[in-house]
Amino acid sequence: MRINKFLSEAGVCSRRAADREILAGRVSINGRTAVPGDRVTDADEVCFCGMPVKRKEEILLYAYYKPRGVVCTESRKEERNLFQELSLSERVTYMGRLDKDSEGLLVLTNRGDLIELGMRGSRAHEKEYVVRIDREVTPELIRFLSQGVYLSELDRTTRPCRVKKLSRYTFSMVLTEGLNRQIRRMCEAAGVRVRALKRIRVINILLSDMKSGELRSIEGEEREEFFRIIGWKNTKS
């Protein structure tokens, strides 16, 4: 199989991200630096950043309540990085990051191909947030955010989304894309500032009554429904 697919199935990253890591020279095959398009088998020694990686047969799938202040990175420069907080023996990565000042649900897995299916923009999978702002939520603000917002710094207009007022200063928002700091940028374009942002759902996975810092395995019907929605076929793994 191609090296980018191997890295995806090893849980290192998605295929697209694997291509970038290969071009950056961080991947080796049997001691030589890998190049895009290389093919490997399970008998080959594949290393990422000098560490051996293997494809994983068992699919690991977790829900994690990321606390505010934790950074979605492996960099040791960050005092509170996600993977130090998790302390898992297995290598996993996240499906859609949350910035340092945001909290809430991260879906974690050891399979990059699952992340690719879940995050593919063309499939318009939903992610739901609760947002608290510094001004009153008005009907005009709801309409502005719902219809799609032009973000000049990204030169892109966001997709129309569902926005619902929850209280004087809070609203819920359901997105089907994941642009960098999207909600914060949309609110800034509307002239308001985000005071708190929490993700409460990714596709069918709910944060529900999880506590900050809590990790749980996604099992049973919830797991099967997640696989069905994203289009994953091998649900027995």
Tens of pLDDT along 9-46?
787 888 888 999 999 999 999 999 999 999 998 789 99
Residues 211 and 116 in one domain: yes
CATH number of domain containing 32:
3.10.290.10
Same domain, yes or no, for 87 and 107? Answer: yes
Classify residue 216: in a domain, yes or no: yes
| Whether the Cβ atoms of residue 173 and residue 166 lie closer than 8 Å to each other | no
Stretch among 19-23, 61-65, 213-217, 230-234 having the lowest mean pLDDT: 230-234
Domain count, the chain: 3
Does the pLDDT at position 64 exceed 60? Answer: yes
One domain for residues 109 and 215: yes
115 and 213 inside one domain: yes
Does one domain contain both 30 and 140? no
* pTM (two decimals): 0.76
The three-class DSSP label of residue 64 is strand
Q: Which one has a higher pLDDT value, 193 or 94?
A: 193
Average pLDDT over residues 66-89: 86
Which pLDDT score is estimated for 237?
Answer: 45
Residue 56 — very low, low, confident or very high, per pLDDT cuts 50/70/90? low
Give me the pLDDT at residue 122, please: 62
My answer on whether 44 and 101 are in the same domain is no
Q: Are residues 215 and 194 in the same domain?
A: no
Question: Is residue 168 pLDDT above 60, yes or no?
Answer: yes
Structure confidence at residue 137 (pLDDT): 98
Domain of residue 197, residue span: 126-202
What is the model's pLDDT at position 57?
62
Looking up residue 214, the CATH number of its domain turns out to be 3.30.70.580
β-strand partners of 51: 48
pLDDT band at residue 58 using 50, 70 and 90 as cut-offs: confident
Residues 6+ apart with CB under 8 A from 140: none
Mean pLDDT estimate for the chain: 91
Positions marked catalytic: 99
Contact at 8 Å (CB) between 72 and 94?
Answer: yes
Is residue 237 domain-resident? Answer: no
On whether residue 15 sits in a domain, the answer given is yes
**Does 198 share its domain with 208?**
no
> CA 47, 96, 142: angle at the middle one, nearest 5?
165
pLDDT per residue as tens digits for the range 151-167: 999 999 999 999 999 99
Residue 236 lies in a domain: no
Residue 161 lies in a domain: yes
Tell whether the model's pLDDT for residue 234 goes beyond 80. Answer: no
Please state, in angstroms and rounded to a whole number, the distance separating the CA atoms of residues 160 and 78.
35
Asked, for residue 235, whether it belongs to a domain, the answer is: no
Largest CA distance in the chain: 61
User: Is the same domain home to 213 and 105?
Assistant: yes
Mean pLDDT of 98-104: 96
35 and 46 belong to one structural domain:
yes
Note whether 130 and 78 are same-domain residues.
Answer: no
Residue 217 lies in a domain: yes
The verdict on residue 117 lying in a domain is yes
Residues 201 and 145: beta-carbon distance below 8 Å: no
Residue 72 sits in the same domain as residue 167? no
Averaged pLDDT, 113-136: 87
Q: 176 is written with which tokens?
A: 């089907």
The predicted-structure confidence for 170-187, as pLDDT tens digits, reads as follows: 999 999 998 999 999 999
Which is more confidently placed, 122 or 135? Answer: 135
